[in-house]
Chains A and B, each alone.
Chain A
Amino acid sequence: MKLILKFTLLFLLISLGVFFVGGLITYQVVKQEIDEEQERFLLERLDFFSRWIERHSPTKPFIRDKIQVYPLESGIETDIIFSDTLVMHSTLERLETHIKLDVTKSINDRLYKISLFDLIVEEDDIADSVRESMIKIYLLLTGAMLLVGGLAGAVLFKPFNKTLAKIKSFRVDQKEPLTFSKTGTEEFNKLNTFLEEMTGKIQQDYRSLREFAENASHEMQTPLTNAIGKLELLLANGSLNPEDNDRVIATLSSLKHLSKLGQSLNLLTKIDNREFHNIEKINFTDKLAQALDNFKELMDLKSISIEQQHQDKVMVNMDPTLTTILINNLLSNAIRHNHEHGFIKTFLDDKRLIITNSGPALDVDPNTLFDRFRKDRQKSEGLGLGLAIVKKICDYSGFRVAYNYQQEQHSLEIQFNI
């Protein structure tokens, strides 16, 4: 629910309470005011009739509509008493509640009992009118609030929505810093300034990290090239004795291993840094066929047979570079952990890719297979990063990867849509 709508509803809910209490107060005030007015009115009439009695000094009871005057032989003066009573209304011809004023007072040395009536404004009527006006005002308020809410959403919250849209499209590796235009609202300005600073800092940190990863790779590869070169010069002379020769060869292979390790870790860092963001529709069938073609010769060397079952034109959303790395890693793995005259089966449809290969059982826990540097002891040549890279690419691209071993068959399944 939108904030502005929530706010409006909350406001209306509270207003409902206020209106209820307000209605009660209004009712009380109006009723009291009316009562006072009626009493004042009756008192004025009493004055008026008192003067009339003074002038005429009636000796007989005088009874008219809303007034009764009885001359009394004896008695005492009383205070003015107000009460409610039912009186036949002359024009409406039914009993109606009236306010009644009773007094016994002496005028021209004669006692008169005077009763004055007036049609009362009924409590029900007051309550009805108060209720009606409150409901009407409340409805008016609701309408106004919804209107204000809509306008506020469209106008007041416009800069906020703009900010949201900008944050949404923000990529940490974009070159331009995130900037917001000035708004007329202090809170939004504060928010925007804060976001500008924060995203700026993030971009800077990201750049440093990325530079570090690249520099680390650079700083490592150049001396390695140097070392490899020197050893190759040593070999090229052909003057080494066989033992030294073996040592040089072993050193060369270690250096090569180190270099690849650096490159693979660098790749993992790059994926972590989300540097591969050219997500596009990839024809996975083509890519896989191409990779299989590239690996064909290596499979032949090991006399590995290949069985393919590919659906045509399987389109997958991912980065093209990562696609190539993923497929190459999977196929490399399937060839490397295979035996001579083994087989590889590839299955591809628009939901999954399954690569199955023959090969001896692993002596590591399958659950830790995707961890870094987790590898089979028998095959110490590998880096132990191949499957970690596969897992990372799958996570990054939103795929799920699972490993299964059954009857001397390793199978890796990648589900594209999860």
Chain B
Amino acid sequence: MKVLLVEDHIELAQNMHTYLSKEGYVCEVSASTEQAMSKLGGFDYDLLVLDLMLPDGNGLDILRWVKQTNTKMGVLILSAKNSLQDKIEGLELGADDYLPKPFHFAELNARLKAIFRRRQLQGSNVILCEDIQIDTEKHEVMVNQQLLDLTRKEYELLLYFIVNKNRVLTKQSIAEHLWGDYIDALDSFDFVYQHIKNLRKKITEAGGKDAITTMYGSGYKFISTQ
């Protein structure tokens, strides 16, 4: 999976680069509109991660330009502005998703994988991990060929774990992934535990392996040896 990161904050770009490289992405970084355009002109990328505010222009200009020639590439907009107008404009111009800063890297990873799945895996929307099989088209989970009866949140939680397997996910990151804008209503993230408990129970009851482990104090991790 080739990704072009367009972000002018060098530290952050390197951070993302490190994280995504570990996830198996092939990453390149551009810090300006000009650099990004020359790279996009010369190479093919599967995904474009685009910051909107760049020193030499607006990321939306790159998006406009890119969408004229390359419609196969998935685009994720990063924005610090968190302005509805930018979001709407970006999505109308053909971006696949919009992620406001600050974000958890696990969230970035999950969003990128989702875009990639939607764009590239024509026909096959099945993710396999250990004995779990997720059909992202039908939103169905099979364990040992047995269909799991999951709530929407449990499904999203499992997908989030598998996409970020072997990584520690903080309760906060999980809570934000599941509840997004409504997180303000919560006075603690303890309820994340309830969901995880239910999910583990459903998986083990179907005879699946309990791959979710609690990392003391920090969060949870889905362990996969594959």
Chain A interface residues toward B at CB < 8 A: 214, 217-226, 228-230, 232-233, 235-236, 238, 240, 242, 245-246, 248-249, 252-253, 255-256, 259-260, 263, 266, 294-295, 297-298, 301, 321, 328-329, 331-333, 335-336, 379, 381-382, 386
Contact = CB atoms under 8 A, between A and B. Distances in A.
Given A233-B19, A295-B185, A328-B181, A252 B105 contact: no
Interface stretch (B37-45, B81-89, B113-121, B136-144): B81-89
21 contacts: A221-B82, A221-B101, A222-B9, A222-B12, A224-B101, A225-B101, A226-B15, A228-B103, A228-B104, A229-B12, A229-B105, A232-B173, A235-B168, A240-B218, A242-B216, A248-B218, A252-B170, A256-B102, A329-B184, A336-B185, A382-B187
A76 B97 CA distance: 132
B102 A224 contact: yes
A217 B82 contact: yes
A226 B82 contact: no
Nearest to B179: A298
Given A224-B102, A225-B102, A255-B102, A232 B217 contact: no
Interface string B140-177: 00000000000001000000000000011010110000
Contacts of A230: 15
Nearest to B191: A301
Nearest to A333: B185
Given A221-B101, A252-B172, A321 B84 contact: yes
Contact of B82 (A223, A235, A263, A294): A263
B218 A245 contact: yes
Nearest to A259: B102
B215 A238 contact: yes
Interface string B90-133: 00000000001111111000000000000000000000000000
A229 B168 contact: no
A297 B153 contact: yes
B26 interface: no
Contact of A235 (B53, B170, B184, B187): B170
A377 to B, nearest CB: 14
A246 B184 contact: no
Contact of B217 (A223, A236, A246): A246
A218 B80 contact: yes
B222 to A, nearest CB: 13
A233 B82 CA distance: 24
Contacts of B186: 298, 335-336
A252 B18 CA distance: 19
Task: Give chain B's interface residue range (CB within 8 Å of chain A).
Answer: 35 or more
A236 B167 contact: yes
B56 interface: no
Given A223-B9, A235-B218, A252-B170, 8 more contacts: A217-B81, A225-B9, A228-B103, A235-B170, A236-B167, A260-B184, A297-B153, A336-B184
Given A217-B80, A298-B179, A228 B102 contact: yes
Given A301-B194, A336-B184, A232 B82 contact: no
A259 B191 CA distance: 23
Contacts of B217: 242, 245-246, 249
Nearest to B186: A298
A240 B215 CA distance: 11
Interface in B1-58: 9, 11-12, 15-16, 18-19, 51, 53
A230 B12 CA distance: 9
Interface string B174-212: 000001011011111001001000000000000000000
Nearest to B22: A236
Given A218-B81, A248-B218, A233 B185 contact: no
A225 B8 CA distance: 13
Contacts of A255: 102
Contact of B83 (A214, A224, A245, A260): A214
A49 B104 CA distance: 131
Nearest to B188: A381
Nearest to A321: B84
Contacts of B179: 298
Nearest to A255: B102
A16 B36 CA distance: 82
Contacts of B102: 221, 224-225, 228, 255-256, 259
Contacts of A232: 19, 104-106, 168, 170, 173
A332 B170 contact: no
Given A222-B9, A249-B170, A252-B170, A229 B187 contact: no
Contacts of B51: 222
Nearest to B18: A233
A-B complex: 7 closest residue pairs judged by Cβ atoms: A221-B80, A332-B185, A218-B80, A225-B102, A221-B101, A226-B12, A335-B185
A256 B172 contact: yes
B172 A218 contact: no
Given A217-B81, A298-B186, A238 B168 contact: yes
Contact of B216 (A245, A263, A333, A382): A245
A222 B80 contact: yes
A323 to B, nearest CB: 13
Contact of A222 (B101, B187, B188): B101
Contacts of A328: 181-182, 184
B168 A298 contact: no
B186 to A, nearest CB: 6
B151 to A, nearest CB: 9
A329 B184 CA distance: 8
B187 A379 contact: yes
A228 B217 CA distance: 17
A252 B80 CA distance: 18
A266 B101 CA distance: 14
A259 to B, nearest CB: 5
A230 B18 CA distance: 10
